[in-house]
Amino acid sequence: MAKQMINTPNLDELESGPWPSFVTGLKRLAKDNDMMVDLMGQLETSYETKFGYWKGGTVGVVGYGGGVIPRFTELKDENGKPKFPEAAEFHTLRIQPPAGMHYTSDLLRQMCDAWLETGGSGLIAFHGQSGDIMFQGIKTEDVQRSFDKFNEMGFDLGGAGPALRTSMSCVGAARCEMSCYDEARALRTVINNNLDDMHRPSLPYKFKFKFSGCPNDCVNAIQRSDMATIGTWRDNIRVNEGQVREYYNAKGMNTLVNDVISKCPSKAITLESAAKVDKSNAGLSVADLGDGNAMCIDNKNCVRCMHCLNVIPGGLLPGKDKGVTILVGGKGVLKIGATMGTVVIPFMKMESDEDFEKLNDLARNILDFFAENALEHERTGEMIERIGLVNFLEGLDIEVDPNMIVHPRTNPYVRTDGWDEEAEKWFERKQAAAA
Amino acid sequence: MAKQMINTPNLDELESGPWPSFVTGLKRLAKDNDMMVDLMGQLETSYETKFGYWKGGTVGVVGYGGGVIPRFTELKDENGKPKFPEAAEFHTLRIQPPAGMHYTSDLLRQMCDAWLETGGSGLIAFHGQSGDIMFQGIKTEDVQRSFDKFNEMGFDLGGAGPALRTSMSCVGAARCEMSCYDEARALRTVINNNLDDMHRPSLPYKFKFKFSGCPNDCVNAIQRSDMATIGTWRDNIRVNEGQVREYYNAKGMNTLVNDVISKCPSKAITLESAAKVDKSNAGLSVADLGDGNAMCIDNKNCVRCMHCLNVIPGGLLPGKDKGVTILVGGKGVLKIGATMGTVVIPFMKMESDEDFEKLNDLARNILDFFAENALEHERTGEMIERIGLVNFLEGLDIEVDPNMIVHPRTNPYVRTDGWDEEAEKWFERKQAAAA
Amino acid sequence: MAERTHETIESGAPDPMPYMHPVMKKNYGKWNFHSHPKPGVLYHRAESGDEIWTVKAGTQRQMDHYTVRKLADLADQFADGYVRFTTRSNIEYMVTDQAKVEPLIKALTDNGFPVGGTANSVSMVAHTQGWLHCDIPGTDASGVVKALMDDLYHDFVNCEMPNRVKLSTSCCEINCGGQADIAIIVQHTKPPKINHDLVANVCERPSVVARCPVAAIRPALVNGKPSLEVDEKKCICCGACFPPCPPMQINDPEHSKIAIWVGGKNSNARSRPTFHKLVAAGLPNNAPRWPEVGAVVKTILEAYKADGRPWERMNDWIDRIGWPAFFEKTGLPFTKYHIDNWRGGRNSLNASAHIRF
Amino acid sequence: MAERTHETIESGAPDPMPYMHPVMKKNYGKWNFHSHPKPGVLYHRAESGDEIWTVKAGTQRQMDHYTVRKLADLADQFADGYVRFTTRSNIEYMVTDQAKVEPLIKALTDNGFPVGGTANSVSMVAHTQGWLHCDIPGTDASGVVKALMDDLYHDFVNCEMPNRVKLSTSCCEINCGGQADIAIIVQHTKPPKINHDLVANVCERPSVVARCPVAAIRPALVNGKPSLEVDEKKCICCGACFPPCPPMQINDPEHSKIAIWVGGKNSNARSRPTFHKLVAAGLPNNAPRWPEVGAVVKTILEAYKADGRPWERMNDWIDRIGWPAFFEKTGLPFTKYHIDNWRGGRNSLNASAHIRF
Ligand code: SRM
Ligand code: SRM
Ligand code: SRM
Ligand code: SRM
Ligand code: SF4
Ligand code: SF4
Ligand code: SF4
Ligand code: SF4
Ligand code: SF4
Ligand code: SF4
Ligand code: SF4
Ligand code: SF4
């Protein structure tokens, strides 16, 4: 516990400047932690040679197949001995945070204590890009007891490998007026009912759920998750006229036109003479501006993009008939290029216990379909690209809907001999809905 | 010459109704033309059985490999004899019209005469979708003399098969204020310098040129031709203020806003207070509306879509620095789905003899590249899809330009080790342009 | 063949100048205004102040020479002996004397040529060959067009649409008719039936195999003879194998259906050019008047006419209201076939939470 | 391993309620207004009238426990003992007493935590692992981010941008950092160098072959041993073969370069979500402070700041001005590498005559 600090001229360069320096943090740890001394040695070497020196391996805890990211050094001397032996093992525990990433100061301190007590390096990342707390730097021999400690505190490992991954939900209902459902509940319903797939990786490849309270999508669900649950609403945008006028009086007509009206992607907002507003149109949200003008939103044509609500917060609010849109297939760049999730459920209520149960069923069905139909190392986005969205929908017993597409096909490359039956299905659904 | 008319109950149904009836025309011809009697017999059969009965073959004129579409009947009796023997051969001559499809009444009559004199059926289509006059219905034995007759009159066969095809140009300069170049001259320059490829088919597949005077693209060049030449301009939209005011006074502010300003795809048009117009901005086209307002077009941001010029004809006109944009690769649905042409030359002047010479060279180079690099039965659009636009450009020695794309690549799947050299090329071009 | 006395002159595309109306020639490239005085009539003015009125009329395209001569005679009587044809087989008469416009309209109308097709009308359908001349058609062309234009006559001779409407029909999936606001195209629904006896003699097998977009064809020995075999699970019934190999009969009186596509646009006005999209299929090939096709086309046109805003082409209208509303307003069914599963189909999926309720 | 006394409880994602600020808990799902009183500060009001101020500060994400404890102490001193972390590793303190806002800001600032990252600021860079922990990185992560945020400090603590700016960095082409307004990502420029002696023992060859997006890898015998071979003409240097087969070394101090991408957007506000696009590449991996990268990022941000209109995200701005103007305003070179040649690349070509001059 008193290894000499290694010279780190490169890293030292990262101590200057106004942004908090992780190097300063590493040094602080290294003062009484040999692992960190050597970690800095290896990192400094990387800065010199521009090479990384870690390799993976197999390290885990009893009963689980994932959740620990094992790292063994490859930086060795001519005899095959690690150059920085104290950091020769430098594993990470991925621990799932409370949904929404809320902490008390006590919890933070308890976590620090637990980490140090069980052999951890003292380095913690809040958070990884998937949403885990990453406790970084522990030897193989300490992994189990460290996990046990966190588990006793009520915390569990997250995902790694071909498994269900740790999830994220936005701050949402806890502090945001845009929130259209209880994001934390949805996250916990879906994740905690499928922990087997997280802890014992046996999916074709990783699978991520993410939960955003509204289409602003503050957790990047559409692009970074296999199944994105995004809040939305079906009825009219709510108007708080007082708040709208406050905005209008402060900003003026030009700003209203340039920043709000003309930026609506579907031209659903118009400026009307207040006297002429069509009061019989039940689909209209109207804010009388108090000067003879009125701002009108044609909700039939609003695509729930959030822009106008963002610009006039509190003045325009999501409707009351809230729920979620579900998109499947977002993922990173391997092997077909990055993909966005695409709509598979245009709308689903998310209020009652049954609603959450339905979400849970859907999530489970999608996981099952993925498990059965994806090739090895194939994400949902790639699977759908390969088998076609329609086959995916049919496998899940989901009916087609024009909201799933930007436009119908532009090519005739399809065999349409079932047209009449398919048309019949549509008409029956329409009739049933009307009845 | 007095074959009895055949009963055609199906075709007869097409004599009623207000639109001119081709059936009435066929009957008129059949009165003294046995080929047309039998043609109607075969056509009526098709209407009954819902089957076509033509097959192709090889029929041509001396020295040419294309331009005649041969048709032999397949509607035969049990002995293999044609059921309608007089129409057993029913070929079409594709004749190129004057560019822009201008005719004198005399020419029309001369064409009718020539057609009848040389054994033609009397049926003529003005025009085929590629732009040919189609003289339809002639026997093999009459094809040569019929062609000779037309050729003597100054007309030539068009294209068919894996060849350069007959071209089309819009009415353009002849009667349209949107026209940005001499479309007919461009057509004749390009086509008439490459007739060998039209008359002796030896390209990998068909190749079409089309010429539109402006981005309204009245000949559908972008989608229906391998090389589309579309007029455009680089400088400011010209304003005829009087004409704009006439429009404004007739239609009012609402219409100006809804029909013109808010429909500009790049929001290049704004309504300004006339007093505040930035007179120092050389890139602004301004129409003072006479009531304190001014309509301003930011030409740097105008994408030359034509919309505002269309709505206020004469009030807004193309600039004076005119030329063409060239797009390559438009084609029909085989085998990868329909494609649009894509920009390969954002701008090229088209005024002087040298300009037309350059166009001619470009066309020839593209034909040559196509001939050498396309697979059999592969159109330019498919070839570019296969080899990549950049390889096509490099083959033609055309420099890359951001106007060729909607956006840069979204995937990292490219080997970029020549980055510095390529960047250098760009800087050199920029410097040269600035000098 | 009789002896030739003529030697071919490869003259190519003729110079239009000898056939062009003198006022158009004089003001070539120097026009600066146009307007639409009434349906079927255009007015153009040149920088010189010269004026010209164009009267536009529909034809059957596939014309007997009597019709052509009649059109020529009318040119002599009213229009200085000059005409031109448009890219859509309409004929245009140019007159420099405004007084001749109405008499010309009357003469054309009296002779059965509808005057219209300009501005916000439904212009003539882009026309193909069909049973009259093509070797691969699934339906007729001239007949389909005649039946349709009878139905749409009112909208040809009037300008009541939000913007121009361009239609096309195509007698096979190859689609010589092109992209259009509304396109009517044969859509086969069963794989080709192969006459194995003929394949060996008639078809170059490797090139047929190469034509199939989904690689569903493979060479095979059938009854000891070299022939071809189609994997019917893969086959998308496009008919691309039929032209190079007529024994692969794709046409079927029952199963060659008709599909309707909307929103194609070649012009760059406002939005970028865009392809037409499938909206209806499975319509019967019901010669001689295809009433089911006409009914769907009219339904779509009526919805567009009622709801489109000025200057919105079909695609602009649908872009604004959204596809769910299109299917709602037209009453057409939405099916799994509308969802693209061809290469790159992912681009047409809704990769956003943008949804209309 | 010592004997375990604990039996695992598969507890999963914990309930946040015990750790949530009481006012947030009380008004859960019932907020109805927010505003941005100043950079780094949010104000939220609930239907009940309850108010809460949030003070947001940047952290180094990879924190030593001393830093974490310091943050916890500040929570106790000023914010009732509650904090949360954002999706971008910023820390948020919630206070119900407006009077505590300024003291908290001061305390944070004094302790080296920059207050900002809200509204139209440049928020913290989405962070990855780099040389510190990943097994495949081409560069560092924490160091790159530290260097960048030093450069962008002013724009973190101020809100002077047209809209929010979200950055990401990724230490290999896999891009764990995700889509962003500006993304900084390693881009390899040479095919992997294969250590043939190791392949047989370390790599499952068929699965490595399957990983390559361009099928450039094939099994081969090298020096009599089973190994792999790369077709260097095909290889696009993506590095996807390296994780499953470490002997296929893709990282290279010289040839692993850095590329810059712009205009990625996950939000549905206004335009649909969209991917970031390559704008610059070939930048050197110049540890410890990557000045060339910082310079390009700053150039882009300055152009955006100067020219973007209110509420335009990076992609909205470029959509409006067009890519030619983007390259002009930033002075970045346009090269053939910008033109997509990957599957579906045709969709990014300009299939229109829409051009800005
Ligand atoms: C730690 C983390 C970066 C960080 O510092 O925050 C990370 C680190 C790694 N990612 Fe990642 N990814 C992390 C979030 C992401 C995300 C973002 C997200 O989850 O929202 C993505 C993009 C979204 C997605 O899932 O596609 C992401 C896309 C990938 C991919 C590409 C997957 C694809 O389909 O394209 C790989 C490669 C693979 O899995 O084979 C990958 C692989 C890896 C590996 C396991 C590298 C490897 O194959 O050996 C890295 C381990 C580093 C380490 O030593 O800890 N990582 N990775 C993030 C996880 C922390 C956490 O648990 O909270
Ligand atoms: C006659 C005409 C339709 C008409 O009635 O107007 C026509 C008729 C035929 N077209 Fe076409 N195409 C005609 C214009 C077009 C156009 C429109 C155009 O040129 O602007 C297209 C779409 C644009 C394009 O070039 O892609 C067109 C796309 C095709 C294709 C699909 C090509 C592709 O790459 O997808 C084929 C199939 C082929 O070439 O193998 C084809 C093939 C044919 C054939 C030769 C059928 C065949 O393979 O045996 C047809 C001969 C019919 C006949 O008996 O005369 N035709 N064809 C048009 C030519 C008349 C003329 O010379 O003026
Ligand atoms: C005569 C003709 C050119 C020719 O060389 O034959 C022509 C002539 C004119 N076109 Fe066209 N267009 C002609 C085919 C087209 C086509 C091609 C087609 O019909 O397949 C298009 C592209 C259609 C598409 O997008 O697929 C076309 C898209 C336009 C547009 C753009 C409309 C839009 O908003 O999208 C304009 C602008 C306008 O409407 O003011 C235009 C405008 C005009 C003007 C007003 C130009 C002018 O200033 O003279 C002419 C009015 C004619 C009229 O009848 O109203 N023309 N125009 C063609 C008449 C065809 C017909 O008989 O119907
Ligand atoms: C705290 C946080 C959610 C969380 O659970 O942690 C959050 C919180 C808020 N976001 Fe967010 N967003 C947060 C990440 C995001 C992300 C994801 C990301 O950062 O990668 C996005 C998507 C970015 C993208 O498109 O790629 C995001 C896109 C938005 C937008 C849409 C902006 C736009 O116009 O495109 C809004 C609307 C707005 O700006 O009014 C928004 C609005 C808001 C509001 C105003 C919501 C509210 O009423 O409270 C919050 C203001 C926070 C602030 O600091 O200004 N938030 N927001 C995240 C803070 C991250 C950070 O520290 O910077
Ligand atoms: S996604 Fe919507 S609900 Fe969630 S924090 Fe962001 S703005 Fe609020
Ligand atoms: S939320 Fe609806 S009305 Fe508001 S800007 Fe977006 S689409 Fe337009
Ligand atoms: S393409 Fe342009 S120039 Fe040619 S006729 Fe049409 S509007 Fe006139
Ligand atoms: S021509 Fe230019 S200014 Fe006019 S509408 Fe089109 S893009 Fe806008
Ligand atoms: S569309 Fe098909 S059937 Fe009709 S003319 Fe063209 S190739 Fe022949
Ligand atoms: S019809 Fe089309 S898909 Fe079917 S075998 Fe023939 S070419 Fe292939
Ligand atoms: S971006 Fe690449 S190198 Fe960086 S953490 Fe992710 S997988 Fe590792
Ligand atoms: S670097 Fe990428 S492209 Fe090259 S061999 Fe490896 S996986 Fe294939």
The 10s digit of each residue's pLDDT in B370-385 is 999 999 999 999 999 9
DSSP character at residue B365 = H
Q: Are C272 and D354 in contact (CB < 8 Å)?
A: yes
Pocket perturbation via mutation, ligand 2, pick of B53, B71, B124, B129 by most ligand atoms within 8 A of CB: B129
Q: Write the single-letter amino acid at B200.
A: R
What mean pLDDT comes out for the span C68-96?
97
Q: Which of A347, A389, A417 sits opposite C339 (nearest CB)?
A: A389
CA atoms within 13 A on the CB side of D52: 30
pLDDT digits (tens, 9 = 90+) for D283-307: 999 999 999 999 999 999 999 999 9
Which ligand sits closest to the CA of B268? 8
Give the distance (Å) from ligand 7 centre to CA of residue A91.
69
- Torsion sign over Cα A183, A185, A189, A191: positive
Of the pLDDT bands very low, low, confident and very high (cuts 50, 70, 90), residue C235 is very high
Q: Record the pTM.
A: 0.96
The predicted pLDDT at position D5 comes to 87
Q: Comparing C-alpha atoms, which of B119, A147, C338, C129 is closest to residue D5?
A: A147
- The tokens for A32 are 């009484």
Which ligand sits closest to the CA of B284? 8
pLDDT digits (tens, 9 = 90+) for C84-123: 999 999 999 999 999 999 999 999 999 999 999 999 999 9
Give the distance (Å) from ligand 8 centre to CA of residue B306.
6
Give the distance (Å) from ligand 6 centre to CA of residue D21.
32
What mean pLDDT comes out for the span B269-274?
92
How far is C-alpha A433 from the geometric centre of its chain's CA atoms? Answer: 33
- C8 touching D (Cβ < 8 Å): no
Chain A contact probe: residue of B253, B254, B263, B333 with most A CBs at under 10 A? B333
pLDDT digits (tens, 9 = 90+) for A265-292: 999 999 999 999 998 999 999 999 999 9
- Residue A73, H or E segment: strand A72-73
Of the pLDDT bands very low, low, confident and very high (cuts 50, 70, 90), residue D70 is very high
Ligand 2, residues at Cβ distance < 6 Å:
B 69, 92, 94, 127-132, 158, 166, 206, 208, 224, 331-334, 379; C 127-129, 133-136, 174, 176, 178, 243
Give the whole-angstrom CA distance, residue A28 versus residue D112.
Answer: 15
Give the whole-angstrom CA distance, residue D1 versus residue A87.
Answer: 19
Q: Which of B47, B109, B310 sits opposite C288 (nearest CB)?
A: B47
Q: Comparing C-alpha atoms, which of A55, A34, A200, A64 is closest to residue A144?
A: A64
Q: Evaluate the omega torsion of the peptide bond into residue C288 and state whether it is cis, within 30 degrees of 0.
A: yes
Of the pLDDT bands very low, low, confident and very high (cuts 50, 70, 90), residue B25 is very high
The predicted pLDDT at position C4 comes to 85
Give the whole-angstrom CA distance, residue D20 versus residue A418.
Answer: 54
Ligand 7 atom with minimal separation from the B180 CA = 3
Chain A: partners with 3+ C-beta pairs within 8 Å: B, C, D
Contacts of C97 (CB under 8 A, 6+ apart): none
- Describe the crossing of helices A22-30 and D142-151 by its angle, rounded to 10 degrees: 130
Residue C323: closest C-alpha in chain A: A402
Chain D contact probe: residue of A93, A149, A208, A220 with most D CBs at under 10 A? A220
Q: Are A338 and B262 in contact (CB < 8 Å)?
A: no
ipTM for the predicted complex comes to 0.96
Phi then psi for D331, rounded to 5 degrees? 70, 10
- The tokens for C281 are 């299929």
- Tell me how close the Cα of D239 comes to any Cα of chain B, in angstroms: 10
Between the two ends of chain D, the Cα-to-Cα distance in Å is 71
Question: Do C285 and C256 form a contact (C-beta atoms < 8 A)?
Answer: yes
**Angle at CA of residue C100, ends C97 and C102, nearest 5°:** 135
Q: Are D347 and C352 in contact (CB < 8 Å)?
A: no
Strand ranges (E), B86-132: 92-95, 102-104, 123-126
Phi then psi for B133, rounded to 5 degrees? -75, 130
Pocket perturbation via mutation, ligand 7, pick of B101, B168, B169, B170 by most ligand atoms within 8 A of CB: B170
Sort out which chain C residues have CB atoms less than 8 A from A408's CB and list them: 277-279, 323, 338-340, 348
Strand ranges (E), B205-253: 209-212, 227-233, 238-239
- Residue C320, H or E segment: helix C314-321
- D291 touching A (Cβ < 8 Å): no
Q: Which of B304, B393, B416 sits opposite D355 (nearest CB)?
A: B304
Q: Are A337 and B262 in contact (CB < 8 Å)?
A: no
Phi then psi for A23, rounded to 5 degrees? -70, -45
How far is C-alpha B227 from the geometric centre of its chain's CA atoms? Answer: 9
Which ligand sits closest to the CA of A227? 1
Q: What mean pLDDT value characterizes chain C?
A: 97
Using CA positions, which residue lies closest to atom 57 of ligand 1? D176
Residue B261: closest C-alpha in chain A: A262
Q: Which of D29, D31, D84 sits opposite A101 (nearest CB)?
A: D84
Question: Do C178 and C168 form a contact (C-beta atoms < 8 A)?
Answer: yes
How far is C-alpha C283 from the geometric centre of its chain's CA atoms? Answer: 18
What mean pLDDT comes out for the span D178-190?
98
Q: Comparing C-alpha atoms, which of D273, D264, D226 is closest to residue D245?
A: D226
- The tokens for A57 are 């391996």
The predicted pLDDT at position B1 comes to 55
pLDDT digits (tens, 9 = 90+) for B208-226: 999 999 999 999 999 999 9
Cβ of C314 below 6 Å from ligand 9: no
The predicted pLDDT at position A1 comes to 55
Of the pLDDT bands very low, low, confident and very high (cuts 50, 70, 90), residue C2 is low
pLDDT higher than 60, residue D1: no
Residue A270: closest C-alpha in chain B: B258
DSSP character at residue D18 = G
Higher pLDDT, A304 or D3: A304
- The tokens for D68 are 């974490």
Using CA positions, which residue lies closest to atom 4 of ligand 8? B308
Q: Are C323 and A401 in contact (CB < 8 Å)?
A: no
The 10 Å Cβ neighbour count of residue B372 is 9
What torsion, rounded to 10 degrees, do the Cα atoms C142, C147, C149, C152 define? -160
Which ligand sits closest to the CA of A181? 5
Using CA positions, which residue lies closest to atom 1 of ligand 4? D86
Using CA positions, which residue lies closest to atom 8 of ligand 12? D212
Ligand 11, residues at Cβ distance < 6 Å:
D 128-130, 134, 136-137, 141, 170-172, 174-176
The predicted pLDDT at position D2 comes to 58
A266 to A68, A322, B258: CA distances (angstroms): 47, 21, 14
Q: Are B175 and C67 in contact (CB < 8 Å)?
A: no
Q: Write the single-letter amino acid at D123.
A: S
Q: Are B342 and D346 in contact (CB < 8 Å)?
A: yes
Give the distance (Å) from ligand 7 centre to CA of residue B231.
9
The predicted pLDDT at position B292 comes to 95
What mean pLDDT comes out for the span C329-350?
96
The 10 Å Cβ neighbour count of residue A5 is 12
- C352 touching D (Cβ < 8 Å): yes
- Residue C36, H or E segment: strand C31-38
Q: Residue ranges of chain A with pLDDT lower than 70?
A: 1
Of the pLDDT bands very low, low, confident and very high (cuts 50, 70, 90), residue B2 is confident
DSSP string, B371-417: HHHPPTT--HHHHHHHH-HHHHHHHHT----GGGBSS--SS--S--T
What mean pLDDT comes out for the span B279-285?
94
The 10 Å Cβ neighbour count of residue D302 is 13
Question: Do C105 and B149 form a contact (C-beta atoms < 8 A)?
Answer: no
Using CA positions, which residue lies closest to atom 6 of ligand 6? A305
Instruction: Return residues 175-204 of D near B (CB < 8 Å).
Output: 175, 185, 187, 189-190
Share of chain B above pLDDT 70, in %: 100
Coil/strand/helix, residue A81 = coil
Give the distance (Å) from ligand 5 centre to CA of residue A254.
28
Ligand 9 atom with minimal separation from the C175 CA = 1
Chain C: partners with 3+ C-beta pairs within 8 Å: A, B, D
pLDDT digits (tens, 9 = 90+) for B286-311: 999 999 999 999 999 999 999 999 99
Chain C contact probe: residue of A306, A345, A411 with most C CBs at under 10 A? A411
Chain A contact probe: residue of D78, D85, D158 with most A CBs at under 10 A? D85
Q: Provide the edge-to-edge strand list for the sheet that holds B269-273.
A: B269-273, B293-298, B284-288
Phi then psi for B118, rounded to 5 degrees? -100, 20
Give the whole-angstrom CA distance, residue C245 versus residue A350.
Answer: 57
Instruction: Please state the length of chain D.
Output: 357
Question: Do A380 and A208 form a contact (C-beta atoms < 8 A)?
Answer: no
pLDDT digits (tens, 9 = 90+) for C257-294: 999 999 999 999 999 999 999 999 999 999 999 999 99
